Amino acid sequence: AGEALSRVPDVQIDGDGVFKYVLLRVRGAGAPAKDVVRGHGWAEYHADLFERTAEELARHGLSCECLGGGRVSHRPEERKIHVYGYSVGFGRADHAVTTEKLKAEYPDYEITWADEGY
């Protein structure tokens, strides 16, 4: 399970635009958990992101729980990402955690977050 967990990318977000995201805690049997960020424009609801990711992880023997959601504004031409808002169904994700994950994935970006906005 630890090996499967290590293959799960910490961040998967769309390359451009404004879209919903979820912060998920992924677990394998007997393995430590890790938090991952998933954000895509195709998702009408935060639950869509959660359900699709849960299905993908289940195929590798992993499970996940949703820690909350929000929105991401990704502007690659400006090298900026802004994290904000909340999920009606899952509540507000810890945007500080999300921001740290994004900084590791996009080290040359300016990444900001705020609790305001929807």
Strand pairing of 17-28 and 34-40? antiparallel
3-state secondary structure of 97: helix
Is 34 assigned a ligand-binding role in the annotation?
A: no
- Is 95 in the active site? no
Please answer whether residues 97 and 23 qualify as being in contact, where contact means their C-beta atoms are separated by less than 8 angstroms. Answer: yes
Please answer whether residues 74 and 14 qualify as being in contact, where contact means their C-beta atoms are separated by less than 8 angstroms. Answer: yes
Catalytically annotated residue among 40, 46, 74, 82: 46
Whole-angstrom Cα distance, residue 48 to residue 99? Answer: 21
Helix (H) or strand (E) holding 39: strand 34-40
Q: Residues comprising the binding site? A: 20
Q: Residues comprising the binding site for substrate? A: 20
Please list the active-site residues. 46
